[in-house]
Amino acid sequence: MFCLRRRPEISEEEFHRYWREEHGPLVARHAAALRIRRYVQVHTVSGAVNELLAASRGAPEPFDGVAELWFDDADDLVAGAGSDEGRKAAETLAVDEGRFIDHGRSPLFVAEEHRVIG
């Protein structure tokens, strides 16, 4: 999981466009090397509904989106990142992320899904 906040000098519109149209296809091109099984971009929708929802919970600054990268298991994640091809792919993606993501304000973590409904 990668909870994204855009760089301060980038507009919301440009952040979402770049992530969807430029970075997304780049991730797709490197998915095999990194053993990514599924990649989902969840783009935050700005507006009154999100503002009211956040205010009702005393929520912190919102994320601009969340990237979900799915792997078959932790071993695949490690194997993909540990190969020469995977390291090169990860470096390419990190450089591109630096163009639109504020890494210092964007938490990244490994998680496990537990379905409750659906």
**How does pLDDT run across 38-50, given as a tens digit for each residue?**
999 999 998 888 8
Domain range for 90: 2-105
Report yes or no on 71 lying in a domain: yes
Give pLDDT tens digits for 85-117.
999 999 999 999 999 999 999 999 999 999 999
Report the C-alpha gap between 21 and 86 in whole angstroms. 22
Report yes or no on 116 lying in a domain: no
- Which residues does 24 contact at the CB level (< 8 Å), separation at least 6? 39, 41
Cβ atoms 4, 66 nearer than 8 A: yes
Number of domains in the chain: 1
Give pLDDT tens digits for 47-76.
888 888 888 988 888 899 999 999 999 999
Provide the CATH number for the domain around residue 70.
Answer: 3.30.70.100
